Structure 1
């Protein structure tokens, strides 16, 4: 039975949590402070999940999360608070101190569902033996050559539009900003970078970018990282054209980075496996579909699963999680937003110039949208010579 430790200095909060979890499938423990929490921790062989308040009078919740990350890295850490400074939220989200953040007062169904989902995802991820690597993976690292350009614009108080033009060139920093904006603290629920920056604010954005400066990709991996970004950036442009052609309306903000974010798993795998991934996968002259087969053969997992896992972990909108998880499998029965996934699938084929292969995922996406290859020809012709 899974063990959950709840820590909060407010007695009424602990009573509410006891009522909520009383008849569920977990063995729950409750502490009103750090001393009691340590006693409980030492009395048990293992705690599966820690849910702690951020602001407590005698011991900061952020410090507690850091202690548990060091002492018990396999414990899932969750932050719970009615008030926390922006600095605290930024630290908890960006440094993987907390896998999720719930804001008081919480929604009972949402917190139960989220906890079950976290356990389920953890089980799935442990099965492919990547847990230890993920624990050490603090955030998706950005390409260092873009930092100076971004920081210079921010320091000169340029407009959000000008700043976002530069940020969008970097898949990793884009994902980190969207990740924070979609956390429970900001609750932006957007896939649009400009809206995300507006939610966070430019002053806080400066802190975020500076905090990521220490997380630079190794020079040897920069070229591989840039190739992934170029594919993602062009795919996003094609996605916009195809979406607007199909729906005859502008792309909604919540899915505004669907094409840009769909291959975030490749960036993550490049960071985790470094030269092995760059040499044995990215430098191979094979189709995008064959890449996932090769990844599973070499690393027991593919970039779509890795990317979907992290987007879910970072509380991205479900639409973007599905795009990342299923853009190679648009016919998967678990997909809710089938047409959106199909549009991204076709966009990746057009960008890679692999539409003539007529693979099963390409044909499946056409079938979902009820269109044929002729429908795509104007968009194909626009991009094939770029």
Structure 2
């Protein structure tokens, strides 16, 4: 039975959680502070999920998440907070401390459904036995060097100046960040790395570094993955346009690189299976649906699961894990953030010019968002003309 530990300094919140989870299929524990939480943790072999309030007077939730990340990295960490603490939620997610978050007052069905889906996602990863398939590729399971260093500096609240000092040691990635900041999307118009990082944002910066480092792991394979990165970069721009059109607001920083990272599984599979993946998959003139089927035939796994698995391993936000896992099947019952996944699905197919084929995944995404092809026409025309 899954074990969940809830931490909140407000007695009424703990009472509400006890009532809500009383008859569910979980073994639940409740603590009003870090001392009680640690005592509970020490009595148990393992806690599957931690749900903690962010704003507590004596020991804030960010520190609680840090403690549990170090003590029990396999525990799913979830942040709970009021709407007034949006910055704290963003901090928890951007520092890879929390995979998911809920606001008070929460919707009972939403919080129960989301927790169930998070556990289902873990079960799916265990069932595919991906770990056994890639056990000889240790440098993928270990976070890339620069990403790890930058992530640690962000977690320690170091200055932009210090973070940029680390990045500037790698001239190639520095030039790539400046190029992205000065692109039509960000329009930073700067040659200064610190200014570029401020335009891009720290959360986007981390994911850009991760994507770049993975693509550079085996130098002879870099050019073979260029088409994937070009597709992903354009998909991210289309995703931002779709998001702004649909929600009438800019993309939240937490998911700012959803389009950029959605196909990262292909790059990882290229690193793992090398020339075989390049010649049999990337060089083949086949659709994405055919790619998924061919991957399963040739390698017993597909890039969607591979991407989701490693983002989960690296404790990325659940939104980005779902984008990787489900952008080919946006109506999957396990998805928590269906509209986000649907937007990336549409963005990817618009970039490839496959929207007129009306594949099932494209139609599912339209249905989820309750829009039609005509709604997409202005964005389609914009990117066709580029």
Query: Shorter-chain TM-score category?
Result: 0.5 to 0.7
Aligned residue in 2 for 1:128: 128
| Higher mean C-alpha deviation, range 303-312 or range 142-151 | 303-312
Shift of 1:161: 5.4
Residues in 2 aligned to 1:333 and 1:85: alpha-carbon distance in whole angstroms? 28
**How far off its partner does 1:281 sit?**
1.8
The CA distance in 1 between the partners of 2:69 and 2:32, in whole Å, is 20
Structure 2 CA distance for aligned equivalents of residues 363 and 333 of structure 1: 16
2:267 aligns to what? 270
- 1:311-351 Cα offsets, whole Å, 9 max, x none, are 99533799x78971338xx9x999999x9899668646647
Kindly tell me: are residues 297 and 263 of structure 1, through their superposed partners in 2, closer, same or farther at Cα, counting changes over 3 Å?
Answer: farther
Contact in 2 for aligned 1:6/1:28 (Cα 8 Å)? yes
**Structure 1 residue aligned with 2:227:** 227
| Structure 2 match to 1:314 | 318
Structure 1: state its 5+ residue gaps: 165-201, 244-249, 372-377
Q: Which moved more, 1:29-38 or 1:58-67?
A: 58-67
Change (3 A) 1:239 1:73: closer
* 1:16 aligned partner: 16
Once the two structures are TM-superposed, the CA of residue 117 in structure 1 deviates from its matched residue by 0.9
Give me the whole-angstrom Cα distance separating, in 1, the residues matched to 2:18 and 2:333: 37
Counterpart-to-counterpart distance in 2, 1:70 and 1:122: 20
Deviation at 1:67, TM superposition (A): 2.6
Deviation at 1:26, TM superposition (A): 1.1
Cα distance, 1:269–1:29 mapped onto 2, change above 3 Å:
farther
Aligned length: 316
Shift of 1:40: 0.9
Q: RMSD of aligned C-alpha atoms?
A: 5.4
Q: Once structures 1 and 2 are overlaid, which stretch shifts more, 72-81 or 298-307?
A: 298-307
Provide structure 2 residue ranges, at least 5 long, that are not aligned to the other structure.
135-139, 152-166, 190-196, 252-256, 374-379
**Contact 1:281/1:294, CA 8 A, preserved across alignment:** no
Say whether the 8 Å CA contact 1:322–1:341 is kept in structure 2.
no
Distance of 2:185 and 2:361 partners within structure 1: 36
Report the Cα distance in structure 2 between the residues aligned to 1:2 and 1:263, rounded to whole angstroms: 34
How does 1:135-150 map onto structure 2 within 5 Å?
Answer: 144=173, 145-150=175-180
5 Å-filtered alignment, 1:197-208, equals 205-208=200-203
Correspondence list, 1:167-186, <5 A = none
Alignment of 1:56-205 (within 5 A): 56-82=56-82, 84=85, 86=87, 88-130=88-130, 144=173, 145-150=175-180, 162-163=187-188, 205=200
Q: CA deviation at 1:264?
A: 3.8
- CA distance 1:361–1:20, shift in 2 (3 Å): closer
Q: Is the 8 A contact 2:345 2:362 kept in 1?
A: no
Q: Helix, strand or coil: the match of 1:3? A: strand
